[in-house]
């Protein structure tokens, strides 16, 4: 099937499903961004500087792309930088982290008119997509306006690869419009090539997550909180998903049977679950303080600190003696294992890590990650770690070493993006 016909059929299906699609994005709203942005109706800016555009779908992608965003601001001061997200939480993270240094818009829905309007008004010199947000009409609009597109930290899980394979004419047409793919692992590079990306446009750069930098202010806040809490055992469960929190609370109960003064920092992945998780904690008999309630202090009687704020996960990891990373006890695929590892905090996870298999394996092979199957195993592992200070130290230092040894994706990505901005280097 010709790629243009495949895209036309895709567009027809999207139009038929548009009531469901619109209902979903209607909830993803921010007071700073009118909903008409979903139709490509962004305000035109009176700024003569050329535009760099980076798309990061949600909070996780924004976090991964943060070192690259900082690099783009430093490398190209003569350009204005625009960040798009799909979610409101991603938009909030962009505003919190970068403020007025960047401009934020919501990505338009992938209707031909909306995407053409968006790309025309934005007029980017380069489009950068973090990870795998491949929208056929958006990429076609970039091709029509001669905008080079790069996919950075590009990844394809086994599930995503199988899905894209079913629609290979559409996928091959999309990837033909991409100027460069910076794959985060050899297997990701192979999958992109198998789906139709030209071999000479795919580079294995490594994972940008290895190049994460800890903010000095966040580090100081971690140290301040830890001094306030004293010598008690502290562990964190970060980016938890539905189905995990009850297991984590059961593991914490087991830990407190051995260490009654232990403190759990529980950080759900999605803000809409904060109230639900707070109720779970209370129902489990825990004494809860919510991070958003700054007037309430964590005292010796507090057993759970609920991390119900945005943008503080790395800082909270820095307060802990051990870190469980969520999305891994349930079949979500796992979340960022490298944030705690980079801080020298021992890393624990469940077995479901399809989204970051190479990173998970690199940590495990270097004795820098412990895998648990369920709440019972998590509780037993935590007890063993808090009984053995030297083992915790070895795990933490091993994680830090893995992160240091694998840095470099940012440098190669910066080099290729700079080259794409030079018209003489384009194919």
Instruction: Say whether both 227 and 326 belong to one domain.
Output: yes
Residue 188 has pLDDT above 70, yes or no: yes
Q: At what angle do helices 59-75 and 88-98 cross, to 10 degrees?
A: 40
pLDDT surpassing 70 at residue 228 = yes
Which CATH number belongs to the domain containing residue 165 in this structure? 3.40.50.11720
Whether the pLDDT of residue 230 is over 70: the answer is yes
Q: Where are the alpha helices (DSSP H) in 78-236?
A: 88-98, 112-122, 136-144, 158-166, 168-176, 186-194, 216-229
Residue 12 confidence (pLDDT): 94
Residues 47 and 81 reside in one and the same domain? yes
What CATH code is carried by the domain that includes residue 399?
3.40.50.2000
Give the pLDDT confidence of 392-412 residue by residue, as tens digits. 999 999 999 999 999 999 999
Strand residues in 22-140 grouped as ranges (E): 51-55, 80-85, 103-106, 124-130
Count of domains forming the chain: 2
pLDDT in tens, 288-301: 999 999 778 999 99
Residue 211 lies in a domain: no
- Domain residues for 366? 216-405
Q: Name 183's bridge partners.
A: 154, 204
Q: In the structure, what pLDDT confidence band is assigned to residue 221 with cuts at 50, 70 and 90?
A: very high
**Do 221 and 344 share a structural domain?**
yes
Same domain as 189, residue 169: yes
pLDDT at 412: 95
User: Which of 324, 260, 326, 316 shows the shortest CA–CA distance to 292?
Assistant: 316
* Residue 127 domain-assigned (yes or no): yes
61 is catalytic: yes
Domain membership flag for residue 138: yes
Alpha helices in 212-332 (DSSP H): 216-229, 245-258, 274-283, 313-317
Hey, what long-range contacts does 352-358 have (CB within 8 A, 24 or more apart)?
352/327, 352/328, 353/328, 354/157, 354/158, 354/159, 355/155, 355/157, 355/327, 356/207, 357/187, 358/184, 358/185, 358/187, 358/207
State mean pLDDT over 36-63: 91
| pLDDT tens per residue, range 238-272 | 999 999 999 999 999 999 999 999 999 999 999 99
Of these residues, 28, 37, 44, 61, which one is catalytic? 61
The mean per-residue pLDDT over the stretch 166-181 comes to 92
Residue 234: CB atoms within 10 A of its CB come to 22
- Report the C-alpha gap between 66 and 85 in whole angstroms: 13
Q: Is residue 288 domain-shared with residue 171, that is, in the same domain?
A: no
25 in any annotated domain: yes
Sequence-distant (6+) residues with CB within 8 A of 124 are 50, 51, 52, 53, 82, 147
Token pair for residue 355?
């989204």
pLDDT band of 425, cuts 50, 70, 90: low
Would you say residue 132 lies in a domain? yes
- Span 332-355, pLDDT tens digits: 999 999 999 999 999 999 999 988
Residue 276 lies in a domain: yes
In this structure, the answer to whether residues 16 and 79 fall within a common structural domain is: yes
As a whole number, mean pLDDT of residues 76-86 equals 96
Whether pLDDT at 19 is above 60: yes
91 and 35 within one domain = yes
Residues 70 and 179 in one domain: yes
Model pLDDT, residue 129: 97
pLDDT digits (tens, 9 = 90+) for 197-217: 999 999 999 999 899 877 888
Residue 127 has pLDDT above 70, yes or no: yes
What confidence score (pLDDT) does residue 424 get? 55
């Amino acid at each position: 099937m010709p790629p243009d016909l495949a895209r036309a059929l895709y567009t027809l299906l999207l139009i038929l499903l548009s009531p469901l699609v619109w209902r979903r994005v209607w909830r993803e709203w921010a007071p700073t961004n009118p909903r008409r942005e979903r139709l490509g109706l962004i305000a035109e800016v009176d700024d003569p500087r050329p535009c760099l555009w980076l798309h990061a779908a949600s909070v996780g992608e924004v976090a991964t792309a943060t070192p690259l965003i900082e690099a783009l601001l430093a490398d190209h001061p003569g350009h204005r930088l625009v960040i798009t997200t799909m979610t409101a939480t991603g938009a909030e993270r962009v505003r919190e982290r970068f403020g007025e240094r960047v401009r934020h818009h919501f990505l338009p829905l992938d209707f031909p008119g909306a995407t053409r309007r968006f790309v025309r008004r934005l007029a980017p010199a380069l489009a950068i997509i973090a990870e795998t947000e491949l929208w056929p009409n958006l990429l076609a609009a970039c091709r029509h306006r001669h905008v080079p597109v790069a996919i950075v930290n590009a990844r394809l899980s086994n599930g995503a690869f199988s899905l894209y394979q079913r629609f290979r004419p559409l996928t091959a047409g999309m990837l033909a419009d991409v100027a460069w793919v910076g794959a985060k692992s050899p297997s990701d590079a192979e999958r992109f090539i198998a789906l139709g990306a030209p071999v000479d446009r795919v580079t294995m750069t490594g994972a940008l997550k290895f190049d994460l930098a800890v903010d000095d202010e966040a580090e100081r806040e971690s140290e301040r909180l830890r001094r306030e809490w004293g010598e008690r055992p502290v562990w964190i469960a970060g980016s938890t998903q539905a189905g995990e929190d009850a297991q984590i609370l059961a593991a914490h109960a087991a830990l407190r049977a051995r260490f009654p003064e232990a403190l759990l920092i529980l950080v759900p992945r999605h803000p809409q679950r904060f109230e639900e998780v707070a109720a779970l904690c209370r129902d489990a008999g825990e004494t809860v303080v919510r991070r958003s309630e700054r007037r309430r202090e964590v005292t010796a009687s507090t057993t759970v600190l609920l991390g119900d704020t945005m943008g503080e996960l790395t800082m909270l990891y820095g307060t802990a003696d051990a870190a469980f990373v969520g999305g891994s006890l349930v079949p979500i695929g796992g979340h960022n294992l490298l944030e705690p590892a980079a801080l020298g905090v021992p890393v624990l996870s469940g077995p479901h890590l399809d989204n970051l298999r190479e990173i998970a394996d690199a940590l495990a092979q270097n004795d820098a990650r412990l895998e648990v199957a369920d709440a019972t195993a998590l509780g037993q592992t935590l007890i063993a770690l808090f009984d053995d200070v030297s083992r915790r130290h070895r795990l933490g230092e091993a994680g830090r070493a893995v992160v240091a040894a694998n840095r470099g994706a940012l440098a190669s990505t910066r080099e290729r993006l700079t080259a794409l901005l030079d018209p003489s280097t384009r194919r």
